[in-house]
Amino acid sequence: MSRKYFGTDGIRGHVGQYPITPDFMLKLGWAAGMAFRKQGKCRILVGKDTRISGYMFESALQAGLSAAGADVLLLGPMPTPAVAYLTRTFHAEAGIVISASHNPHHDNGIKFFSGRGTKLPDEVELMIEELLDAPMSVVESAQLGKASRINDAAGRYIEFCKSSVPTSTDFSGLKLVVDCAHGATYKVAPSVFRELGAEVVVIGAQPDGLNINANVGSTHIGQLQKAVVEQGADLGIAFDGDGDRVLMVDHTGAVVDGDELLYIIATDLQDREKLVGGVVGTLMSNLGLELALKARDIPFSRAKVGDRYVIAEMLERGWQLGGENSGHIVCSQHTTTGDAIIAALQVVLALRRRGQSLAQERLAWHKCPQVLLNVRLSGAGGDPLTHPEVRSACEEVDQAMAGRGRVLLRKSGTEPLVRVMVEGDDEAQVRQHAERLAGVVAKVCA
C-alpha cells in the first residue's frame, strides 16, 4: 500500500502548505494518539529543533494528542536522536520530532520513533494514515491527555552521550570548533565535549527561529573551515539542524565526510576486535570506501539512500555500524538511530587512541572522484528515471566508463529533485558524464 503522507523520513514540506499546516498537525496528533493507545492509555514524547514554526506545530500536536487521550511529555529543543533515546528511557509508546533536519527555516516536518527508539514499522505508519482520513473524535473529558515538561532532558541526554565512551576518556589538550547550525544541538553538543575535557570554540549556537542551517552546519561548512584554521584548532565538528548528521574539518580546513568518518570508526573497532560483521553504506557511498574496507577484510554492503534503509540492512545482517556520506552514522552498539554527537565522539576517541590527527586519518584511503548534480522536477510528465532517453544515456556512460566507475540516478526523498551521481577514476571524465546526464534529465523534465 502506497503512503499518502509519509515519505522516507516522516512527513516534510513547506510551512503553511498542506500538509505542513496547524490543522493537519492537530489531526496528526490525534491520529498518532489513537494509533499508540494501549488499554486506553498512551504516553508520547515531543521534541523539536529551533525553527520558529516548531512552537506552532508543538501546540497543535499537543492538542491532537490530548484529544485522543494521550499524555504528552514536552522536551523542547532537542536533537532527533535524543528524542529516540528519551522515548526508550521514559518507556513511552512513541516519540515525535518536529524538524526538517538540514532544510531552511521555512520548511518543517514530523518524524516518529517507536517505543524502542526505532523508526516506525510500516504497518504503524499505514495505521496513522488511515486514521488521518477518518473523522476526528474526542475522548471523554476525564480521559483527556495531560501535558508536562521534562526539565532535565538535556542533562539526561548529555550523560547518555558521554556513556558511549569509556569513563577514563579525557580530551584534555584537544581544541575543537563545534558548529551547531543554530539548531537542536546548540546546548548539548558543546557541553558533551567540554565535560570530557576538550577546549571548545562554538559557532552556530545562537538560534533565533529563522537562522537554522543558514550558512552554518554540515550543509554549509565554510564558516567552520575558516574558524578551525583561524583558531588553530585540532579539528572541527559540524552538525545539522536536528543533530542526526555530522561532518568534520581537519586542522588544514579540509572537509571529512561521512564515508571517511565511517572508515575511521570501522577500522578502530576492527583494531580492538570489537567490529561486529561489517559496514553498511548506501548506493551513494564512495567506491573508494568499499575498496578500502575490502583491503582491511571488512565486509561492506550497500542499502538504498536513507538511514531507515541503512538501519534495516544492519538489522538484517546483524551488523552494528552503518551510515551515509552525508554524515548520518549509526553506531547501534550505543543507540538505535543515527546520532551525530555519538558518532563524533567515536571518531575523536579513535584519533586519541591512535595518536593520529584527523588529517592523517583522512589520507588513509583514496576517494574516487564523485560528482553529484541535482535536477529539479517540474511535476509534469512521467518518471524521468524510466524515460527511454535517460536510460539510453545511462547505458552509454556505463559503456564509456568500461567498469571503472558507477552511475546512479535517484529521486530525492525530501525534495522535488533527481540526483545524478557519476563516480570513477578520472575526475574530468566523471564531471563530463555527470553534466551530460543531468542535461538529458533536465530536458525530459522540462
Q: By the 8 A CB rule, do 7 and 45 touch? A: no
CA–CA separation, 67 vs 72, rounded Å?
11
Number of C-beta neighbours around residue 136 at 10 A: 14
Cα separations in angstroms, 90 against 39, 44, 153, 252: 18, 9, 11, 43
Which among 399, 393, 348 is positioned nearest to 200, based on CA atoms? 348
122 — phi, psi (to 5°)?
A: -55, -40
Which among 142, 350, 195, 163 is positioned nearest to 261, based on CA atoms? 350
179 — phi, psi (to 5°)?
A: -105, 115
Q: Which residues are catalytic?
A: 101
Which among 90, 93, 68, 76 is positioned nearest to 145, based on CA atoms? 68
Strands (DSSP E) along 4-154, which ranges?
11-14, 43-48, 71-77, 94-98, 107-114, 147-149
CA–CA separation, 296 vs 302, rounded Å?
17
Q: By the 8 A CB rule, do 231 and 201 touch? A: yes
* Helix (H) or strand (E) run with residue 129 in it: helix 122-132
In this structure, is the dihedral angle defined by the CA atoms of residues 221, 214, 100 and 94, taken in order, positive or negative? positive
Distance of CA 116 to the CA centre of its chain: 18
Radius of gyration of the chain (CA): 22
Which among 119, 412, 421 is positioned nearest to 244, based on CA atoms? 119
CA–CA separation, 307 vs 87, rounded Å?
19
DSSP label at residue 425: S
Residue appearing with cell numbers 547550525: 181
CA–CA separation, 240 vs 246, rounded Å?
7
Strand order in the sheet with 300-303: 300-303, 279-282, 321-323, 329-331
Cα separations in angstroms, 376 against 14, 101, 211: 16, 20, 24
